[in-house]
Amino acid sequence: MANLKSRTARIPFVALLAIALLAVLWQTGCRMQSKEIGKEAGKLDKIKAAGKIVVGTSADYPPYEFHLLPELESGMVGIDIDIAEAIAANLNVKLEIKDIVFSKLFDELVAGNIDLALAGLTPTESRRHIVDFSIPYYQAMQNMLIRTEDKEQIRLLDDLRGKVVATQKGSIQEDMARNMVTGATFFLHERIDELIAALLQKKVDAVFLEKPVAETYAAKDPSLLNLECDTDSMPLGSAAAVRKGDADLLQRVNEILAKLIAENKITESLQAAKVLADKI
């Protein structure tokens, strides 16, 4: 009986010892896990560690981004290129710009192949489900580019009934045209220059573009006319895009954009880009 009592007395001690050991292991495991989580670098740290920021754009959209020499893949200029350079300079890293088909920009961003997208992007609600947007850095209305010879036939959106309307594939202008133009046939293409060529060749009757872009093409070619239609009374503007969760990068980008806007750098960049676009 005494022996039984002694064994019974030791059981709680052994159990307590086991519990204590489990608690220590659990706490140690939690601390180790916390340290591992803490070790994971944020997006800004990763960019600085790499020594460069990779920015995706679609360089057929003057004055936002375009090739100074169309036959060369290098030499991109424009508002978004200037912004990208300002961001890289602020982070003290090199800038790598990738020219990507517009409709693939968000895919490349989500896949992590680029750190930031700058391409005159409108932050629509559907796009906000995919990526996070910066503050708007420029606001513009949506316009319609037609042939000058058709100015008597096409004055309003209603005049596009039975016509062929062209927009860039995957753009906000595509959604706008489909929602606001009835009875028209829609022509889509990845590149803006191909849409303009189709207009000049009379394959399409109108091209929907953001106002600065339409103005740029109309200024270069008198056979084209830019119509300011009431297509968007509340412009959403253009913003930079980052991957969901890259909050530290987004915060820094917003700070840089706010400074550029306050110093009137965006407007200056727009004017300079228009001058360059007239030369291509």
Q: Which amino acid is at 82?
A: D
pLDDT at residue 81 in the model: 97
Model pLDDT for residues 75-101, shown as the tens digit of each residue: 899 999 999 999 999 999 999 999 999
- Cβ count near 141 (within 10 Å): 16
Q: pLDDT band at 236, cuts 50/70/90?
A: low
pLDDT at residue 266 in the model: 94
- pLDDT of 10 strictly over 70: no
Question: Hey, is 73 helix, strand or coil?
Answer: coil
Helix ranges (H only) for 141-246 are 172-180, 192-200, 211-220
pLDDT at residue 24 in the model: 43
Q: pLDDT band at 261, cuts 50/70/90?
A: very high
Q: pLDDT band at 245, cuts 50/70/90?
A: very high
Q: pLDDT band at 197, cuts 50/70/90?
A: very high
Q: pLDDT band at 235, cuts 50/70/90?
A: low
pLDDT at residue 277 in the model: 83
Would you give the DSSP letter of residue 138?
Answer: B
- Cβ count near 171 (within 10 Å): 25
CATH superfamily, domain at 142-227: Periplasmic binding protein-like II (3.40.190.10)
Domains in the chain: boundaries: 43-139+236-277, 142-227
- pLDDT of 265 strictly over 90: yes
| pLDDT cut 90: percent of the chain above it | 65
pLDDT at residue 140 in the model: 78
pLDDT at residue 19 in the model: 41
Average pLDDT over residues 155-165: 93
- pLDDT of 108 strictly over 70: yes
Asked if the domains 43-139+236-277 and 142-227 are classified in one and the same CATH topology, the answer is: yes
Q: Are 187 and 203 in contact (CB under 8 A)?
A: yes
CATH class of 43-139+236-277: alpha beta
| pLDDT cut 70: percent of the chain above it | 81
Report which listed range, 41-50, 108-117, 151-160, 174-183, is most confident: 108-117
- Average per-residue pLDDT in the chain? 84
Q: pLDDT band at 72, cuts 50/70/90?
A: low
Report which listed range, 30-34, 141-145, 239-243, is most confident: 239-243
pTM, to two decimals = 0.74
Q: Name the E strands within the chain.
A: 52-57, 60-61, 65-67, 76-77, 94-99, 116-121, 131-133, 142-147, 164-168, 185-189, 206-210, 224-227, 239-243
